[in-house]
A and B are shown apart, each in its own frame.
Chain A
Amino acid sequence: MKRVLLLVMLLAGMTASAQDMVTQVRARLADVPLLRGGFEQKKTVSGFKKPLVSRGVFLLAREKGVLWDTQTPFASTLTLTRKSLSAQQGSGAAAYHLDASKEPGLAAVNEVMFALLSGDVAALSKRFRVEGALTGTEGWKLTLTPTDAGLARVFRVIQLEGDKYVRQVRLEEARGDMSVIQFDQLAQTPPPNEAEAQRLAK
């Protein structure tokens, strides 16, 4: 369930936030039922001198779930749906699976995520203090500070940047680690292929 939280935050950026600011940011964001693209993640972790860099592609299908597929430095897939969270290494060496029916928190997180996807701003501002600014003619920046004790245990602060789409997410974890994720080649097509649809149906 845990890592899912991050994704939720990620997706948060793709929709909206609070008050007038939020309304304006929402106006600049495209309302998309489906989004796919590439990502590059730089993660700074204590115990490691250099940032850990990974690249891959992702697919977000509203009402269905998220596929997060890392391609380098090694292949692995992450699938998050309403019912479960599962991860698998491309080599087949490692895999794990969490069932929402056994882990009530996962169901809750999914619920929140889908609320976010459908543009439910109230849900987000209930868990975060949202501050932001518009940049240029199309851009915007948001800073999210958790107000919920459980979330504050995980994140110190989350920053989002984007225009029509979210372009960058910066996650500062409560324990000091930090990730910066850049998105590119964002597109609303093509629809999920058979393999993707199958994974989303899990």
Chain B
Amino acid sequence: MRSKWAILWLLVVLAVGVHQVRFWLSARLDTDVLALLPEDEQAPEVGAATRKLADGASRELVLLVGAPDWEAAQRAADVAREALSRDASLLKPSALDASSFDTALELYRPYRDRLLTPAQREWLTRATADELGGTALMKLYQPAGPRLTNWEADPLGLWPDWWAARAAESTARPRDGRLWLSGEGREWVLLAFHSQVSAFALGADGHITRAVERAREAVTAAVPGSRVVAAGVPLYAESAASQASDEMSTIGTGSMLAVLLLVWLTFRSMRPIVMVGASLVIGCAVALSVTALVFDRVHLLTLVFGSSLVGVAEDYGFHYFASRQGKPPEERGSVMRGLLPGMVMALLTSVVAYLALGVAPFPGLRQMALFSAAGLVGAFLTVVCWFPHLDTGALPVTAFAQRFATSLARWPRFASTRTWWVGTAVLTLFTLGGLWRLKTRDDVRQLQGAPAHLIADQRELGRLLGLPSPAQFFLVGGQDDEQVLERETKLKARLDALVTDRKLAGYRAVSDWLPSAEQQRADARLSERAEAQAVAAVAVATGEAPTRASFAEGVLTPEQLLASPAAAAIRQQWLGMLGDQHFSIVMLRGLNDPSLLPHLADAAQGLEGVRWVDKTQEISGLLERYRKLMGGLIVLGYVAVLLLLVTRFKRQAWRAWLPTVVGTLFTLAVFGWVGEPLQLFSVLGLMLLLGMGVDYGIFMLEHPGDGSAWLAVALAGVSTLLSFGLLGLSATPALRSFGLTMLLGEVAIWLLTPCCRLPPGKDVS
């Protein structure tokens, strides 16, 4: 009977092995931090918009090379370009030259008459014939200037202003065949590169990061006083990947070694080491395969989190060997049968706790939950199905194990004495005080583990270039393209007021590059009337008969624009059809003051189809909502676990339950006293404490007074401590907070559980 299960499990493990080989050959590891972020439940189009903005940027690397003067800046830019272009399979310079401007000019030229800025529209509407004629004359007689057309095609000289308004979307300007800007005491050259490798496929090797560092060094060495500011998703992706793989090897290897060392100290035999090790490896492999099958791509942070799984999965093996130690080999089967009820219950509580993590809509969290649950089941099945078959030799009790097992008898146990009540009162006061001081924080930044220098560079670049913010924008929806553009126009009228009040530097909207058909027709009529008056006035003044050029019959359509390279500027903001609606994004520049965000939210008030999206605030709001939800779930979870325990342990159930409750409250109290805020990820840690902390109580109750159960609990506790303690070293704030919660909680629960054990001679039944 048992061997049938062993063979069945062997087949599963073999299948997992095959899958693992294929998985690692294709290496579908995800390093993109964005993949961890939650979907917006209420508005899928917001998610689509964010993804589109992110996709557009996912391969772009932007550099500003600055020096005290323009000459030096140009030299520095050449050095940087040379250093970065060295490996053509890595980075390719993006075209930022004048030819793209010429393409755009030719596309727009036939429609020049219907491309007006708001200021021109206003002026043409109110200007008198005298003013129009006078302006045309003045501009005609002025010493020559950079006109983009013949005089007849633009008698009022409107078009260069329209282009100037477009160019104002970035502070960079063409100069000597480069893109130049001036700021913060330096002259800068803008360089852009396109990564030849997808951000998803960037490994932990940091090729692009190293190339940028090489360029930085070369530039600093070649040009004194120079500076390189670099930003781009590839740098973040590489940093995340190398950080995750570093942590994975520290935490994973560290806890694995610690566990094996403990096993060696306890059993002084290779067999438990090999077998517990095997159960861990199989557990991790199963976890990875199941996660890969369900999610297709596995995130590197899942592996980091999963590394701590090691600290939990070895519990089953410990329990088996601790019980089996000193018993004759033929009793293996009965030892396992005796352990099974406790182990199943422990597995159930842990798996339930892990899976509860998946309630939150964070794709990353769901992966971690599934990974951990599958890993535990894999390790559990390995222990149950294989250990009794493979563990054939004798396993004498070691002195270390003996000493430890007998220590249980000396461990203090709660009794109704004065000392205990005083201790309880002190602990209660400490806990209440800490809980009183406990604060919460739901800041999205806890998800960012990016190094400070990357963030600083990104900010500086955004400031210098006047780039629009990708985290806050307006989403404009409508029945068709025309309605979207019309609604954008209404929104822009409100934004213009904010720009005038200097609350906003500017915005970037598709309709600036592609006015709605209605707007185009109205502008064409407006400029036709005004320019006819201007031409007539000039004819009178000069005694000649100039004529106004004619323009295209139809309007410029989205299809025409999108088919042209000129659409590059707005392509990522034009979402097209999502569901049954069409959408576009209006992006904002100069959003440096968070206190202005409510003004912007107000700007969308009452405008049909316009939605203000504040990704930062949205995610923070989501974190808060789920922190509260999970908090409620934990309370429910404690009630459910208590009921489960009562079905088996009757009136003694509290002995397994109370230590975890007290440990949890104690952890929160410590957080309160030291000023560590409560956030979603610490709440998730509390959830797992519930799953694991109760395990100890269960084993102590299942095998009262049994030194071997105590030994197993001790081993489990110490190894869990090690693994989560190491997670506390993570550079990702969320993981660190999670690790700290586990660390504190585990210590408290582990110390308290034996205090609540049954008095000698008493049994749960």
Taking Cβ atoms with an 8 Å cutoff, the residues of A that contact B are: 1-7, 10, 41, 43, 45-50, 52, 54, 68, 70, 73-74, 76, 78, 87, 89, 91, 93-94, 96, 102-105, 108, 122, 126-127, 147-150, 153-155, 171, 173, 175-177, 179, 181
A87 to B142, CA, bound (A): 10
Per-residue CB contact flags for chain B residues 145-165 toward chain A (1 = under 8 Å, else 0) read: 111111110000100100010
B146 close to A76 (CB less than 8 A): no
B142 close to A103 (CB less than 8 A): no
16 contacts between A and B (CB under 8 A): A4-B145, A6-B144, A6-B145, A10-B143, A41-B143, A46-B150, A48-B544, A49-B544, A52-B141, A70-B141, A76-B137, A87-B142, A108-B182, A154-B146, A176-B150, A177-B144
- Which B530-568 residues have C-beta < 8 A from chain A? 541-542, 544, 546-547
A177 to B143, CA, bound (A): 11
Residues on B with beta carbons closer than 8 Å to the beta carbon of A10: 143
Stretch at the interface among B173-181, B191-199, B259-267, B397-405: B173-181
B143 close to A3 (CB less than 8 A): yes
The reply on B652 being an interface residue by CB < 8 A is no
CB contact between B135 and one of A48, A96, A126 (< 8 Å): that residue: A96
B152 close to A47 (CB less than 8 A): yes
Q: Closest Cβ of chain B: how far from A27's Cβ, in Å?
A: 24
Q: Closest Cβ of chain B: how far from A42's Cβ, in Å?
A: 11
B546 close to A108 (CB less than 8 A): no
CB contact between B133 and one of A93, A108, A150 (< 8 Å): that residue: A93
Q: Closest Cβ of chain B: how far from A116's Cβ, in Å?
A: 14
With most chain A CB atoms within 10 A of its CB, the pick from B137, B167, B171 is B137
B152 close to A46 (CB less than 8 A): yes
A150 close to B137 (CB less than 8 A): no
A78 to B141, CA, bound (A): 11
A150 close to B544 (CB less than 8 A): no
By secondary structure, the A interface counts as mixed
Q: Closest Cβ of chain A: how far from B185's Cβ, in Å?
A: 14
Smallest Cβ-Cβ distance to B164: which chain A residue: A103
Residues on B with beta carbons closer than 8 Å to the beta carbon of A2: 145-147, 157, 160
A181 close to B143 (CB less than 8 A): yes
The reply on B134 being an interface residue by CB < 8 A is yes
B143 close to A91 (CB less than 8 A): no
B131 close to A93 (CB less than 8 A): yes
A150 close to B144 (CB less than 8 A): no
The reply on B569 being an interface residue by CB < 8 A is no
Residues on A with beta carbons closer than 8 Å to the beta carbon of B149: 175
CB contact between A76 and one of B138, B145, B171 (< 8 Å): that residue: B138
Per-residue CB contact flags for chain B residues 404-416 toward chain A (1 = under 8 Å, else 0) read: 0000000000000
The reply on B763 being an interface residue by CB < 8 A is no
By secondary structure, the B interface counts as mixed
A176 to B152, CA, bound (A): 13
A185 to B179, CA, bound (A): 41
B134 close to A94 (CB less than 8 A): yes
Q: Closest Cβ of chain B: how far from A193's Cβ, in Å?
A: 24
Beyond A177-B151, A179-B144, whether A89 also contacts B134 by CB under 8 A is yes
CB contact between B176 and one of A49, A50, A78, A147 (< 8 Å): that residue: A147
A93 close to B174 (CB less than 8 A): no
Smallest Cβ-Cβ distance to A1: which chain B residue: B164
Residues on A with beta carbons closer than 8 Å to the beta carbon of B71: 122, 126
A148 close to B177 (CB less than 8 A): yes
- Which B100-146 residues have C-beta < 8 A from chain A? 128, 130-135, 137-146
The reply on B98 being an interface residue by CB < 8 A is yes
Residues on A with beta carbons closer than 8 Å to the beta carbon of B176: 126-127, 147-148
Q: Closest Cβ of chain B: how far from A123's Cβ, in Å?
A: 9
Beyond A91-B130, A104-B171, A148-B177, whether A47 also contacts B151 by CB under 8 A is yes
A197 to B653, CA, bound (A): 94
A94 close to B131 (CB less than 8 A): yes
Q: Closest Cβ of chain B: how far from A53's Cβ, in Å?
A: 9
A54 to B142, CA, bound (A): 9
A3 close to B145 (CB less than 8 A): yes
A91 to B537, CA, bound (A): 14
A181 to B146, CA, bound (A): 17
Smallest Cβ-Cβ distance to B143: which chain A residue: A6
Smallest Cβ-Cβ distance to B130: which chain A residue: A93
Q: Closest Cβ of chain B: how far from A103's Cβ, in Å?
A: 6
Residues on B with beta carbons closer than 8 Å to the beta carbon of A171: 143-144
A149 to B174, CA, bound (A): 8
Given contacts A52-B140, A74-B137, A179-B143, 20 further A-B contacts (CB under 8 A): A2-B147, A2-B157, A6-B143, A7-B143, A43-B140, A43-B141, A43-B144, A47-B547, A49-B544, A52-B141, A78-B142, A89-B134, A148-B174, A148-B176, A149-B177, A150-B175, A153-B148, A173-B147, A175-B150, A177-B151
A108 close to B151 (CB less than 8 A): no
Q: Closest Cβ of chain B: how far from A81's Cβ, in Å?
A: 17
Residues on A with beta carbons closer than 8 Å to the beta carbon of B97: 149
A4 to B139, CA, bound (A): 12
Residues on B with beta carbons closer than 8 Å to the beta carbon of A122: 71
Which 8 residue pairs are nearest across A and B when measured between Cβ atoms? A94-B134, A3-B145, A154-B146, A2-B145, A93-B134, A149-B98, A94-B135, A6-B143
A74 to B138, CA, bound (A): 9
B146 close to A5 (CB less than 8 A): yes
